[in-house]
Amino acid sequence: MSVSSELHVVFGTGPLGLAVMRELIARGKLVRMVNRSGQAKVPGDVAVVQADAIDHASARQACKEASVVYNCIGVDYTKWAEIWPSIMNGIIVGAASANAKLIFADNLYMYGPVSRPMTEDLPYAATTRKGRVRAQIANTLMEAHTSGKVRATIGRGSDFYGRGALVTAMGERVFSKALSGKAAGVIGNLDMPHTYTYIEDFGRGLVTLGEHEEALGEVWHIPNAETITTRQFLELVFKEAGKPFKVSVMPKVMVSILSLFVPVLREMKEMLYEFEEPFIVDHSKFERAFGANPTPHMQAIRQTLNWFRQNTQ
């Protein structure tokens, strides 16, 4: 496959940034990865550069000659409020300086608790601190688009799982535990329907948005496999792992107690509502515009287990 001269710049070399990279490579794109260390485990023909998105000069340099920029940065839960707005502003400046399209990998926190499947026209009614931060930075990006500062769009995924996704609701505490025949560690009500996003589907959806001018100025929910309950998801994991189903659910009261001492749990506590009520994502808008062919959960779980076998055992 010939490589396109069109440069795609990906901020963030965590699991989602790398999923975007893989999809871009599959589509024959020239890729530059950006992080603060300038080092990442990537194929030899992929450039990795050091930059701090908060520093505008650094962001401009990282985005130089880019056609499309992807914001896939992951930020420590405990630092969201102080860091995310500055990161968004810096990447807007960088993408604008190159006249590049900017694709933001977002989540669903800004909607707050909802009683129906989530669609892109929902108001931002977050009741949590992190949800309000996500609303703020999404508004910042769309305002920059509307004003003509940068051409931008937002792709939103739910709780993701897959290759490299260790610290997620369906991460190491589920897949590694299942492979070892131990109880998966989860929170919330196992019997509530919950949309889970396969990370390769997330990456593919973001790249698709980057390819279409009509995606700009809009919010899009990335296509997901069918929504099932968390219990059903876990049962698929253990079935594919060939182990008896075992699960340990941390009670809400225990989350509250431990959150007094564990900063990450303190941040997770305010998001518990996502796992205690139905949490369903509607991606019909994306499907109507670009089509949708999300990976079935069984296939995605098999691929995820294979990655965990090879990398964490």
Check if the beta carbon of residue 230 is closer than 8 Å to that of residue 161: no
Euclidean distance between CA atoms 81 and 72, whole angstroms? 17
- Domain membership of residue 104 (yes or no) is yes
- Which residue in the block uniquely carries the two structure tokens 């006249």? 99
- Domain membership of residue 269 (yes or no) is no
- Least-confidence region, from 54-63, 149-158, 215-224, 260-269: 260-269
- Domain membership of residue 135 (yes or no) is yes
Tens digits of residue pLDDT in 223-234: 999 999 999 999
- Domain membership of residue 236 (yes or no) is no
Range of the domain at 204: 7-158+197-224+281-294
Euclidean distance between CA atoms 196 and 272, whole angstroms? 15
- Domain membership of residue 61 (yes or no) is yes
Question: Is residue 313 very low, low, confident or very high in pLDDT (cuts 50, 70, 90)?
Answer: low
Query: Is 127 buried (19+), middle (13-18) or exposed (0-12) by CB count in 10 A?
Result: exposed
- Domain membership of residue 170 (yes or no) is no
pTM here? 0.95
Euclidean distance between CA atoms 185 and 45, whole angstroms? 38
- Domain membership of residue 220 (yes or no) is yes
- Domain membership of residue 302 (yes or no) is no
CA separation, residue 11 to residues 19, 75, 105, 301 (Å): 12, 12, 10, 27
Element (H, E) at 131: helix 129-146
Determine what percent of the chain is predicted with pLDDT higher than 90: 85
Once rounded to an integer, what is the mean pLDDT over residues 150-178? 96
CATH of the domain at 34: 3.40.50.720
Return the beta strands (E) in the chain as ranges: 7-11, 30-35, 47-50, 66-71, 101-106, 151-156, 159-161, 184-187, 193-194, 196-198, 219-221, 228-229, 247-250
CA separation, residue 74 to residues 83, 158, 207 (Å): 11, 14, 18
Once rounded to an integer, what is the mean pLDDT over residues 40-53? 95
Count of structural domains within the chain = 1
